[in-house]
Amino acid sequence: MQITFRGAARTVTGSMHEIQTGSRRFLLDCGMYQGRRSESAERNTNFPFPPSEVDALLLSHAHIDHSGNIPNLTSKGFGGPIFTTPATIDLCNSMLQDSAFIQEKDAEFLNRRTSRRRRVIDEPEREPVAPLYTVNDAKAAMAQFRAVEMHSRTEVLPGVFSTTHEAGHMLGSTFLELELEGKRLVFSGDVGRKNLPIIRDPERAVAADILIMESTYGDRLHQPLAHAKEKLAAIINGTANRGGEDHRAGVRGGADAAVGADDSRVDSRGTDQ
């Protein structure tokens, strides 16, 4: 077995790990790298392996830094199954199309800006920027998703078994217990915290021979949950006071409560008024 960290190593976003076992190759997550525009375009566009040579993808959860490059992988030739929970499939269906829409608008904006500049300062002609992937790519990718229920054990490739466990990070989030080559490999995905409203508590990891673990907040202690509520109340009140709206379904990193709110005011104790 060979494990290669293709993303979210020495950086936070773009989670993607490649496992080779015998003649097979599969990926754990296929996230979008989010950074400076030129560096992001380079890292997201070009895969360090031919996508057509990947046999399967196992997706821990729907956040874009874990799932956001899937339509690019499928449109470039990956034709295998994408195993994840039903809730993650539902979320990806909306989130990947939304991400594609942003990619398309971003490319349109850059091309408009280039042609405007060319008219004004007579710049040499440049290749138009193409979106990383389109809404149609995102829709097409959904056909490759395969639903696996939480706590089920699935043979994802011949001789490779994956069992999903609750990660408590967001709706449908999992950590994965893989069995291959007589070894047990646990991939944590993003790990949630206990006692959050709505989201289930993370389960305890099983015994592992190999552990791949996210460590984004590994050097920090979380603030108590009450602090998250105060912070959220401050954001919502600040937005409302500026006359804006805050349609917030969750806060990145799973550190904070997932609270739905529109432009209604929330006091510092976190109660709707």
Least distance to Zn ion from the beta carbon of 141, Å?
19
Nearer to Zn ion, 211 or 234 (CB): 211
Calculate the CA 51 to chain-centre distance: 18
Is residue 229 part of the contact set for Zn ion (CB under 5 A)? no
- Give the residue from 173, 198, 177, 201 showing the smallest Cα distance to 187: 177
Map the footprint of Zn ion across residues 80-139, applying CB under 5 A.
Answer: none
Q: Which two tokens stand for residue 124?
A: 């040499």
3-class state of residue 56 by DSSP: strand
- Interaction of residue 25 with Zn ion, rule CB under 5 A: no
Distance CA 254, CA 234 (A): 18
3-state secondary structure of 5: strand
Considering only 3-11, 59-67, 91-99, 211-219, which stretch makes contact with Zn ion by CB under 5 A?
59-67
Helix (H, G, I), strand (E, B) or coil at 154: strand
Q: Are 168 and 194 in contact (CB under 8 A)?
A: yes
Strands 153-157 and 160-166: antiparallel
Number of residues that bind Zn ion (CB under 5 A): 2
Give the nearer residue to Zn ion in terms of CB position, either 63 or 229: 63
Between 25 and 145, CB nearer to Zn ion: 145
In the complex, least distance from residue 117 CB atom to Zn ion, rounded to whole angstroms: 38
CA 36/CA 23 separation, integer angstroms: 36
Closer CB to Zn ion, 134 or 174, in the complex? 174
Q: In this chain, which stretch among 94-102, 126-134, 183-191, 257-265 interacts with Zn ion, using CB under 5 A? A: 183-191
Instruction: Report the alpha-carbon distance of residue 52 to residue 244 in Å, rounded.
Output: 45
From the CB of 90, what's the least distance to Zn ion, in Å? 16
Cα–Cα separations (whole angstroms), residue 201 to 14, 85, 228, 232: 25, 17, 17, 21
Contact, 256 vs 222, CB < 8 A?
A: no
CB of 28 to Zn ion, least distance (A): 13
CB of 80 to Zn ion, least distance (A): 23
Contacting range for Zn ion; rule: CB under 5 A; set: 52-60, 132-140, 187-195, 220-228: 187-195
> Binder to Zn ion among 190, 199, 261, 266 (CB under 5 A)?
190
Q: Which is nearer to Zn ion, 259 or 266 (CB)?
A: 259
DSSP structure string for 50-65: -GGG--EEE-----HH
Nearest residue to Zn ion on Cβ basis? 63
The stretch among 100-108, 130-138, 182-190, 192-200 that binds Zn ion (CB under 5 A) is 182-190
- Angle, alpha carbons 242-243-246 (nearest 5°): 90
Kindly tell me which of 29 and 55 has the beta carbon lying closer to Zn ion: 29
The SS3 of residue 261 is strand
The yes or no reply on residue 63 touching Zn ion (CB under 5 A) is: yes
Summarize as ranges the residues that interact with Zn ion (CB under 5 A). 63, 190
